[in-house]
């Protein structure tokens, strides 16, 4: 945890200096202060496809210019389903067939834009920003009737802010849907300076949490589902951990501490706070939004300033603790527990996290746009996280300005244990492989 | 190693711009005829401070916004066009999907009616005359008028 503290302090500097370090010591030879900077303990080298990866790993661009590619699913046959945030030519889901390191779009279907896509038990599940559909698959995991999906869930709130409905499934016939809070901190007037937080935040009735529905029941509304966990501002990256048989989520923490409370938080503090948290959820859990945020430097749950906090007073007494905390605003959009056998042993059952990259660090340099690896042991984080794949953004200047070329979003594991990463800025699909 | 230079160049150009601005404002003090220009420079200068405090975290330092979320302020009719509409966005916030050059933006903007008339005039004048934008200044009197009618409606 000590490292993490210095890490977050250094992030703004690291954004500029990081690439210089990478360039200066390409062999991975640690610089004097490398333990404090955003580098990994594993040597990082040129992994191909413009990415920097640990030694032995290779990246290939299997497809590009697809549109706003969000979440991705790879079938046991190695075919790809990817969801577009906006339908392109009337197609919101693309089906790609792979030959070697190239994937070709075979068909497109589903007129809706959205984020979620998931393959399970003979069905392809996909979400718009208000509904969840499923498509029956044949033995080759190809969609049988692309014009007639079954509507599984309908009528979910979409008030434009945190509208993406990420989805995942467990092994007991349940579907989990994130319904993000349409708010930053549940102020009376969202994001307005001086507007107080609402006690008994009314948003939590219908958003700001994870809802559980039946995976095979049609036309479910809110009333048919269960609010599985609450107090989660917005979750895009989440995954069912097969080892623990438990739901793990990555929360996008609140924005604008300095804008709204310039007397309490400097722009530098506001750039790294609050943490982007990983939670291991059980039914009925409350992660504490909007009444608290997690400060990864003090290692404490802090009372939200809209509710009387001052950056020091503790809060969230009834809220669960995160199991891992990352620097603020990096926007974790993909979470994947690695169960494959292709990568070295240390990656097994650990978590890959795709950070979409920040915008709310300004005027400090932006950061993120990378895939992180968090080692796990027995279902708990074990050891420091490290940057696994970097270089999506392009140059250091493109990272700092937020004008990233590629922004990591969705993650999936292929049948051979390869890791797939989508980029929703240019519609690129990366495939990361390992060779001994 | 270009990366090392980038912040330096940025800093140097900022310094240049700031000192340049100051020098110009001093110059303008001499001929009283050019007071409007001096006023413009002063307003832009003051507006930059307001921008840094209240706008930059969403609209970004280059005012190009954030894809899909926060709209750009560069060369759009929202910024360069009708003054009343622009002033109203600051006063009332903005809560509709907006499409600019084929890209949609969905984040809500909070009302900034707590800013003084002069602050709103300054920040809008700054935005309308920075980042490659060029449009007439907005005055505190204009903001005051819009604010008055805005409350009635």
Q: What is the ipTM of this complex?
A: 0.77
Residue B53 lies in a domain: yes
Q: And the tokens for A211? A: 């809802």
Q: Is the pLDDT of residue A267 over 50?
A: yes
Q: Is the pLDDT of residue A20 over 80?
A: no
Determine the length of chain B.
153
CATH number of the domain residue B50 falls in: 1.10.760.10
Q: Do B69 and A359 touch (CB under 8 A)?
A: yes
Measured CA to CA in angstroms, residue A355 lies from A77, A112, A409, A434 at distances of 28, 25, 7, 21
- Assign A41 a pLDDT band (cuts: 50, 70, 90): low
Peptide bond into A363 cis (omega under 30): yes
CATH number of the domain residue A186 falls in: 2.120.10.30
Q: What is the predicted pLDDT for the residue at A167?
A: 98
* Among candidates B3, B56, B110 on the partner chain, residue whose Cβ is nearest the Cβ of A397: B3
Whose CA is closest to A45, among A58, A36, A32, A61? A58
> How distant is the Cα of A114 from the closest Cα of chain B, in angstroms?
13
The domain of A64 spans 2-434
Report the relative pairing of strands A285-286 and A226-230 from DSSP bridges: parallel
Task: Please state the domain count of chain B.
Answer: 1
pLDDT (tens digit per residue) in A363-417: 899 999 999 999 999 989 999 999 999 999 999 999 999 999 999 999 999 999 9
Phi, psi of A88 (to 5 degrees): -115, 125
* Among candidates A259, A397, A425 on the partner chain, residue whose Cβ is nearest the Cβ of B57: A259
Report the relative pairing of strands A276-281 and A246-251 from DSSP bridges: antiparallel
Check residues B151 and A429 and name the one with the higher pLDDT. A429
Residue B145 lies in a domain: yes
- Assign B67 a pLDDT band (cuts: 50, 70, 90): confident
> How distant is the Cα of A339 from the closest Cα of chain B, in angstroms?
33
- Assign A25 a pLDDT band (cuts: 50, 70, 90): very low
Q: Do B110 and A191 touch (CB under 8 A)?
A: yes
Q: Is the pLDDT of residue B77 over 70?
A: yes
pLDDT (tens digit per residue) in B29-57: 444 433 345 689 999 999 999 999 899 98
How far apart, in whole angstroms, are the C-alpha atoms of residue A181 and residue A235? 9
Residue B12 lies in a domain: no
In the block, residue with structure tokens 């907005």 = B138
> How distant is the Cα of A20 from the closest Cα of chain B, in angstroms?
7
Q: What is the predicted pLDDT for the residue at A3?
A: 42
Given a contact cutoff of 8 angstroms between Cβ atoms, the answer to whether B137 and B144 are in contact is no
Q: What is the predicted pLDDT for the residue at A31?
A: 32
* Percent with pLDDT over 70 in chain A: 90
Q: Is the pLDDT of residue A14 over 90?
A: no
Residues of A with CB under 8 A from a CB of B: 16, 19-20, 23, 68, 85-86, 160-161, 163, 189-195, 255-256, 258-259, 262, 270, 359-360, 362-363, 395-397, 400-403, 425
Q: What is the predicted pLDDT for the residue at A283?
A: 98
Q: What is the predicted pLDDT for the residue at B92?
A: 95
Q: Is the pLDDT of residue A180 over 90?
A: yes
Q: Could you tell me which residues come within 8 angstroms of residue B130 by beta carbon, excluding any fewer than 6 positions away? A: B44, B48, B63
Q: What is the predicted pLDDT for the residue at A48?
A: 86
Whose CA is closest to A361, among A433, A256, A278? A256
Beta bridge partners of A246: A241
How far apart, in whole angstroms, are the C-alpha atoms of residue A392 and residue A370? 6
Residue of B nearest to A361 (CA): B57
Q: Summarize the confidence of residues A287-291 as an average pLDDT.
A: 98
Q: What is the predicted pLDDT for the residue at B38?
A: 62
Q: What is the predicted pLDDT for the residue at A365?
A: 95
Residue B1 lies in a domain: no
Mutate to test the interface with A, among B7, B48, B57 (most CBs of A within 10 A): B57
Q: Is the pLDDT of residue B79 over 70?
A: yes
Q: Summarize the confidence of residues B4-14 as an average pLDDT.
A: 45
Q: Summarize the confidence of residues A44-71 as an average pLDDT.
A: 94
Q: Is the pLDDT of residue A88 over 60?
A: yes
pLDDT (tens digit per residue) in B86-128: 999 999 999 887 888 888 888 889 999 999 999 999 999 999 9
Task: Please state the domain count of chain A.
Answer: 1
Q: What is the predicted pLDDT for the residue at B24?
A: 42
The domain of B146 spans 31-152
Q: What is the predicted pLDDT for the residue at B97?
A: 79
């Amino acid at each position: 945890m000590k490292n993490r503290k210095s890490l977050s302090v250094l992030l703004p500097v690291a954004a500029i200096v990081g690439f210089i370090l990478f360039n200066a010591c390409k062999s991975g030879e640690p610089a004097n202060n490398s333990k404090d900077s955003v580098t990994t303990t594993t040597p990082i080298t040129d992994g191909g496809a413009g990415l920097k990866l640990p030694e032995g790993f290779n990246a290939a661009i299997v497809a590009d210019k697809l549109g706003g590619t969000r979440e991705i699913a790879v079938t046991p046959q190695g075919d790809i389903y990817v969801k577009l945030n906006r339908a392109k030519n009337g197609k919101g889901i693309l089906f790609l067939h792979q030959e070697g390191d190239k994937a070709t779009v075979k068909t497109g279907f589903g007129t809706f834009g959205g984020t979620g896509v998931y393959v399970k038990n003979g069905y392809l599940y996909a979400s718009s920003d208000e509904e969840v559909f499923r498509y029956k698959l044949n033995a080759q995991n190809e969609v049988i009737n692309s014009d007639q999906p079954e509507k599984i869930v309908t009528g979910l709130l979409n008030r434009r802010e945190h509208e993406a409905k990420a989805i995942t499934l467990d092994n007991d016939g349940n579907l989990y849907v994130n319904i993000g809070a349409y708010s930053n901190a549940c102020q009376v007037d969202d994001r307005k300076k001086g507007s107080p937080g609402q006690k008994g935040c009314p948003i939590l009735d219908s958003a700001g949490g994870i809802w559980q529905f039946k995976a095979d029941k049609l036309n479910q509304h809110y009333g048919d589902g269960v609010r599985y966990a609450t107090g989660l501002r917005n979750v895009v990256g989440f995954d069912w951990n097969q080892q623990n048989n438990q739901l793990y989520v990555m929360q996008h923490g609140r924005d604008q501490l300095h804008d709204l409370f310039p007397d309490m938080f400097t722009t530098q503090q506001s750039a790294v706070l609050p943490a982007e948290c990983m939670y291991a959820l059980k039914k009925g859990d409350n992660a504490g939004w909007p009444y608290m945020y997690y400060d990864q430097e003090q290692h404490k749950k802090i009372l939200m300033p809209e509710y009387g906090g001052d950056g020091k007073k503790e809060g969230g007494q009834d809220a669960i603790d995160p199991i891992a905390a990352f620097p603020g605003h990096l926007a974790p959009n993909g979470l994947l527990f690695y169960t494959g056998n292709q990568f070295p042993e240390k990656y097994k059952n650990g978590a890959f996290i795709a950070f979409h990259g920040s915008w709310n660090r300004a005027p400090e340099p932006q950061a993120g746009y990378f895939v992180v690896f968090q080692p796990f042991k027995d279902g708990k984080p074990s050891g420091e996280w490290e940057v696994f794949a970097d270089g999506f953004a392009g140059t250091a200047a493109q990272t700092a300005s937020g004008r990233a070329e590629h922004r990591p979003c969705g993650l999936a594991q292929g049948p051979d244990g390869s890791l797939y990463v989508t980029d929703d800025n240019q519609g690129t699909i990366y495939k990361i492989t390992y060779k001994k | 190693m270009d990366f090392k230079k980038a912040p330096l160049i940025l800093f140097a150009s900022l310094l240049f711009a700031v000192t340049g601005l100051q020098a110009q404002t001093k110059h303008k003090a001499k001929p009283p005829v050019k007071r409007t220009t001096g006023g413009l420079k002063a307003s832009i200068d003051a507006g930059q401070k307001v921008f840094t405090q209240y706008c930059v975290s969403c609209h970004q330092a280059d005012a190009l916004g954030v894809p899909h979320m926060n709209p750009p302020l560069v060369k759009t009719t929202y910024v360069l066009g009708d003054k009343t509409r622009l002033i109203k966005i600051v006063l009332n916030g903005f809560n509709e999907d907006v499409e600019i050059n084929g890209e949609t933006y969905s984040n809500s903007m909070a009302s900034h009616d707590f800013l003084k008339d002069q602050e709103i005039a300054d920040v809008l004048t700054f935005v309308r005359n920075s980042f490659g934008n060029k449009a007439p200044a907005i005055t505190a009197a204009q903001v005051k008028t819009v604010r008055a009618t805005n409350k009635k409606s």
